[in-house]
Amino acid sequence: MGVKERRERQKENLRQEILDAARKLFVEEGYDNVTMRRVAEQIEYSPTTIYLHFKDKADLLFSLCQETFAKLAGQFEALGHEFPNPLSSLKKGLRTYIQFGLDHPNHYLATFVIPYKCDAQERERHLSQDSMGMRAFDYLRMIVAECIRQGMFRPVDVEEASRALWAAAHGITSLLIVHPVFPWGDRERLIDLVIDSMVAGLQSKG
């Protein structure tokens, strides 16, 4: 009775083929230039076939981004869960986050920047604890907690500090992606300035 299994394998293969085709278009040309028709053309199926594997375009691209952000979560978790020097771990983590966004601009845009057009149920899905974006956020929160536990931060709420740091990192990431032409000067220096300022601002006065 390996028939059913083979069928499922084939179905899974096609799903992956769709994802790969979509990713290629997505990486090269961004959200709007991925059309169901072009994806279909690439894999040499009719456009409707895609809908047998993905609910709609948003679902397809969301799945795509999840795949990619899983890499970020993996990168983070590979850094380990011990933070002998939490301040430098924090800076390194923020650096990693920002660089990841710059390396995968269209994924970053689709995940965090493009305004949702979907209903509350889908929005919840995008923000759920299971999502890869949130797993990365969890890691940030862990480091922040350690900074606070070791007394290196002034006594601020872990959640609030994490959100504030995320906001700042998101700000520089998204601006650099969306406005590449703006005279940013030395980008690396600017990124470091944002990170260093935020972290310094959260440190205890002593």
Contact stretch for DNA (CB under 7 A) within 29-37, 64-72, 89-97, 189-197: 29-37
In angstroms, what is the minimal distance from the CB of 74 to a second copy? 23
| Cβ atoms of 144 and 197 closer than 8 Å | no
Burial 147-157 (b: 16+ CB within 10 A, else e): bbeeebbeeee
**Least distance CB 61 / DNA (angstroms):** 10
Asked whether position 120 contacts a second copy by CB under 8 A, the answer is yes
Question: Quick check: 86 and 143 in contact, CB under 8 A?
Answer: yes
Task: Closer to a second copy by CB, 18 or 86: give it.
Answer: 86
**Is the Cβ–Cβ distance between 121 and 128 less than 8 Å?**
no
Per CB under 7 A, 37 contacts DNA = yes
Please choose, out of 40-48, 140-148, 152-160, 162-170, the segment that lies near DNA by the rule CB under 7 A. 40-48
Contact of residue 4 among DNA, a second copy, none (CB under 5-8 Å per partner type): DNA
Task: Closer to DNA by CB, 57 or 135: give it.
Answer: 57
Yes or no: say if 116 and 123 are a contact pair by the CB < 8 Å rule.
Answer: yes
User: Is residue 13 within 8 Å of 21, Cβ to Cβ?
Assistant: no
**CA 157 – CA 150 distance, rounded (Å):** 14
Q: Are 107 and 67 in contact (CB under 8 A)?
A: no
Nearer to a second copy, 13 or 33 (CB): 33
Site residues for a second copy per CB under 8 A: 30, 32, 109, 112-117, 120, 123-124, 127, 156-157, 159-161, 163-164, 166-172, 174-175, 177-179, 181-182, 184-185, 189-190, 193-194, 196-202
